[in-house]
Amino acid sequence: MPEPRHTATRPAGLLTGRNVLVIGAGTRPSDDPKAPVGNGRAVAVLAAREGASVACADVSPSAAAASAALVVEEGARGLPLVGDATDAGQSSAMVADALRELGALDAMVVNVGIGLGAGLANTSPQQWERVLSLNLTAPFLAAKYGLPAIADGGSIVFVGSVAGLRAATDSPAYDSSKAGLFGLTRHVAKEGAPRGIRANLVVPGLIDTPMGREASARRASRSASFTRIPLGRQGTAWEVAEAVTFLLSDRASYITGQSLVVDGGLNAV
């Protein structure tokens, strides 16, 4: 399936010589031949375009391989890694493999998430645990094992959601887990600061990705929200990736413990 290509900006070499691990680098499968790229894959490709070598980790072997191949197409080194980010042993192994194969690790992006349940009454304890495991425990594990492995002066970026700012969905587990990322980001920033390692959170709004389209199909309220976006449209995964790449780069050298909302003004107006 051909992937949409990002041509809005000219590469500036923001990540030249850097080694980046992207956890959740795949894109959700879709039967739509015109399906948009997902956030994780866009981040991997744009990081490569800006000069980085990229380890593309995903629970799906085919998704990891496809993202790594796109990184190689950009003229960079792409390394596919497979692992379950919710499993402590596999999370640790992904970091160790990226460090060993790339020779050093300068940055990490954590892009994972799922939403289950509909209201408190229709969210089972099992669904709650599943969502919290992927949306909050997995980023915790990535930080736990990634922070010691990242070189001094490096960067960590988590990808969250505007659902962490307000009760934006029907899933109490999703909203709660995304809210928890704000606290995790601040804590990682505090622990990383003595070594000059920055940690920040990108907070996407209504983004046109395969996961976003699936959510819109399930919830009419999500589609209705499009008309309330001040900029008049959904965002793209490439625009999320631009924010992530900025925070990974030296242009954000004095920014840590912060959240960067990418939502077309939805939560501001």
pLDDT given for residue 269 in this prediction: 87
Q: Which residues of 201-239 are buried (b: 16+ CB within 10 A; e: fewer)?
A: bbbbbbbbbbbbbebbeebeebeebeeebeeeebbbbbb
Please state, in angstroms and rounded to a whole number, the distance separating the CA atoms of residues 200 and 90.
Answer: 24
Domain ranges of the chain: 19-261
pLDDT given for residue 101 in this prediction: 98
Q: Which residues are catalytically annotated?
A: 174
- The DSSP 8-state label assigned to residue 228 in this structure reads G
Task: Say how far residue 172 (Cα) sits from the centre of its chain.
Answer: 21
CATH level 3 topology of 19-261: Rossmann fold (3.40.50)
Amino acid at 71: V
For tokens 């192994």, name the residue.
Answer: 93
Q: What is the pLDDT along the chain (269 residues), one digit of tens a residue?
A: 344 455 556 788 999 999 999 999 998 877 777 888 999 999 999 999 999 999 999 999 999 999 999 999 999 999 999 999 999 999 999 999 999 999 999 999 999 999 999 999 999 999 999 999 999 999 999 999 999 999 999 999 999 999 999 998 999 999 999 999 999 999 999 999 999 999 999 999 999 988 778 776 666 666 667 888 999 999 999 999 999 999 999 999 999 999 999 999 999 98
pLDDT given for residue 220 in this prediction: 65
On whether the CB atoms of residues 86 and 141 are closer than 8 A, the answer is yes
